[in-house]
Amino acid sequence: MKPNRGYEALRRNRLSMPEATYFVTLCTHNRSPGLTSASVASALRAEILDIERAGYWTIRGAVIMPDHLHLLLTLRVRLPLGRTIARLKSKSKPALFVAGLQWQGNYYEHRLRAEDSVETVLLYIFLNPFRTGLVSLSEIYAWFWLGAEEMAWFTPRTDDGKPFPEWLC
């Protein structure tokens, strides 16, 4: 049997905590760009929302970048985090395949603790496309979205859905 290494070893025996909030990043194999093509991004967003409708998680914030995906989610009771990520990868695999992409084998996860700020993580996710130069400060990035609760308090803190210039310093 092949020994677990790297992130696989870290996840072995890891507990998945229902009702906990997680920051998750999934990358394409070799960080190949293409996730933001309309067909792939639409398929990804649809599957993320299908998983939410199925009751496995509640999305608090998400952004699709060319070579990776950030999710801030609250895990529900029905499946552990690893299984929900496996479902997302599995169901989105055909759309990635058509675009000549595939998922990296592992993913990054961080469970937020009581002292961690949801606002800080949402701001990081929100600013990601602006910091990488995908969009200018005068644009709204199409592949960023918030959960309903987060939209109610986060969006009014922005410049009509755009970041304030000082946020990028």
Mean pLDDT of the chain: 92
Over 86-112, what HEC string results? HHHHHHHHHHHHHCCCCECCCCEEEEC
* Structure confidence by residue, pLDDT tens digits, 38-53: 999 999 999 999 999 9
* Amino acid at the residue 95: A
pTM for the model stands at 0.91
Q: Which CATH architecture is the domain 6-168 placed in?
A: 2-Layer Sandwich (3.30)
Going residue by residue through the chain, which has 169 residues, state the pLDDT in tens, using 9 for 90 and above.
Answer: 555 565 555 555 567 889 999 999 999 999 999 999 999 999 999 999 999 999 999 999 999 999 999 999 999 988 899 999 999 999 999 999 999 999 999 999 999 999 999 999 999 999 999 999 999 999 999 999 999 999 999 999 999 999 999 998 7
* Structure confidence by residue, pLDDT tens digits, 160-169: 999 999 998 7
Q: What whole-number percentage of the chain has pLDDT above 90?
A: 86
Contact 145, 45 (CB under 8 A): yes
Contact 129, 63 (CB under 8 A): yes
Give the domain ranges of the chain.
6-168
